[in-house]
Every structure is written in C-alpha cells, then in structure tokens.
Structure 1
Amino acid sequence: MQRLEDWPTRLAEFIEARQERAFSRGVSDCCMFVADAIEAMTGTDPAARWRGLYFTDKGAHRLLRDNGGVVGLCSLVLGPPIPAALAGRGDVVLIDAPEGEALAVCLGGTIAAQGGKGIIFLPATAAKAAWKV
C-alpha cells in the first residue's frame, strides 16, 4: 500500500466525517475505523476480506481469535509492529481500551480512536506499538 499524494487532506476529511459516527461492531469498530482511514489515505481497503463477516461481539472475538488478536490481525495486513515512538501521522497504533487492546490512528501529537459515540482523541503517549502505513 502506498499513500496517495493528497493523503493528509484525505485523512483530515476522514476524521472530520467520522467525528460523531457511533461504534458499531463490524462497521465502525476499532479495526474497521483504522481500515477506513487507511483506505482514505491509500485508496486500498485492507479489510476487504473481512467486511460483512461479523456484526456481533461473538463474531468479532472469533475473527480476532482466529487471526492472533488485534496485534496479529494488524500485523497480517501491515507487517510487524514497530515501537510506538516511531509512529507518524497516518500510522496505525495500538492502545489499551476498557475492553482490551484496540487500534487507532496517529495524528501526530494525538491519536484518533473509535469511541462509543464517535471519535475520541488521546495523547500520542497512549500508544503501545505502531504499524507504518
């Protein structure tokens, strides 16, 4: 995957458009949020093979279990993780969420993550690992 020339604008527009989109398993959960951000920046959907396969917690847990959890699933698509300190704008990061590990998008000094009622923003220091996009 390669970022499009205007990826910064595309990422900003994506974040703006998703501000108030509520959490929905299989549609706007942490993995699909990150996949949608990557698609906005690259034009390639990294989650195409999983879309429409789950819409419940049980289905999500099965998908994660079968692919090595959140880290395994992300690594399957983007390669091995790197230290969180090396994450740059537009990269994927791993954070701790109340439900367990979750994926988010680095915006520079902040991280954007799918929350219950829309995007939540955290300091970049909340990242535990990262993947280059």
Structure 2
Amino acid sequence: MGAAMRPEGWELRLAAEIRAWEGRAFEWGTADCLGFCRAVARAMTAADPIPDLPAYGSEYTAAKVLVELGHRSVEDLVDAHLPRVAVARARRGDWVMTAAEGAMPGAMGVVTGRYALHLGATGLVRRPVLTAEAAWCVD
C-alpha cells in the first residue's frame, strides 16, 4: 500500500486541495478535521474512504452519528475503513490522529511530509507527524 497505488498526479491534487483549505475555520459537518481528511483523499484518489457518513452539524450530532454507525470514536470509524500503518511509516496524503498541543484531542490530519496538517479553529495547523497517536494509509 501507499503512494505506489495512487493515481498519477495525486501529488498535485493533494497540494491543490490543501491550498483550498488554507484559512478555512473549523465548522462541524462542513469544515471539520474528518471532512478535511476526506476531501484530501477524494482529491487524491477520486474516492471517499468513508462514503456513507451521514451529515452532522454539531459535536453532539457527530457523536450521535458515530454511535448510530456502531463506532465508539472517530478512530474506531477510520479503523473500519482504512488500514492502519505505523506512524513513522505514514506517507504524504495518509491520515493521522493527534492530541498535540494546539489541536483538538483526537484531531485527524493529513501527512504532508515530516508534518501533518490539522484543521484548527481558524485554519490549518501544522504538527510533527511523530506526535501522532495513530496513522492510516490512504490509497
């Protein structure tokens, strides 16, 4: 798995999608950390790794959706759709979860190299990948 299985030109689509999210403020259901990750994955691969996720508009309804789908957490949801990889093996475009300072606990982000981007309150926040607690491969 990894970059070798991604469609040609994925790197340009990754960069373009990240630029489209720069300066975008966090908003549940439309511009949140999972939405950012899913948008980047769709741009890179033309597929949504979590295609049937119902709409939600608040932290409460997001938690309710998780429970209704049979998941205890966002981490559990992502585990059901993507294969885990060791954090140190995460590649550009893969997803990570971190509780690093400045990011919400359990915040999902997209690996861009040594750093991952997470959607914060007022835009993208850069955190070292190696501070992540978990990583998933996006092909």
TM-score by length of 2: 0.85
1:74 is the counterpart of 2:78 = yes
Match of 2:134 among 124, 129, 132: 129
Code of the residue aligned with 1:116 in structure 2: it is: A
Distance, in Å, in 2 between the alignment partners of 1:74 and 1:20 is: 25
Partner of 2:106: 101
Shift of 1:99: 4.0
- Match of 2:30, SS state, is coil
Give 2:91's aligned amino acid. G
Between Structure 1 and Structure 2, how many residues are aligned? Answer: 131
Query: Which deviates the most, 2-11 or 16-25?
Result: 2-11
Identity %: 34
Question: Which string of whole-angstrom CA distances, capped at 9 and with x for unpartnered residues, describes residues 70-102 of structure 1?
Answer: 1111111113x2221111111111111554212
- What is residue 58 of structure 1 aligned with on the other side? 60
SS at match of 1:32: helix
Cα separation, 2, equivalents of 1:62 and 1:92: 23
Q: What secondary structure does 1:100 align onto?
A: coil
Partner of 1:44: 47
CA distance in 1, matches of 2:121, 2:66: 20
Q: Is the 8 A contact 1:91 1:130 kept in 2?
A: yes
- RMSD (Å), alpha carbons: 1.8
Match of 2:27 in 1: 24
Contact 1:32 1:47 in 2 (8 A): no
Do structure 1's residue 89 and structure 2's residue 125 form an aligned pair? no
Letter in 1 for 2:130: T
Shift of 1:3: 2.3
* Distance (Å, rounded) in 2 between the aligned partners of 1:82 and 1:64: 22
Q: Is the 8 A contact 1:83 1:128 kept in 2?
A: no
Structure 2 gap ranges (5+): none
Structure 1 unaligned residues grouped into runs of 5+ = none
Matched residue, 1:15:
18
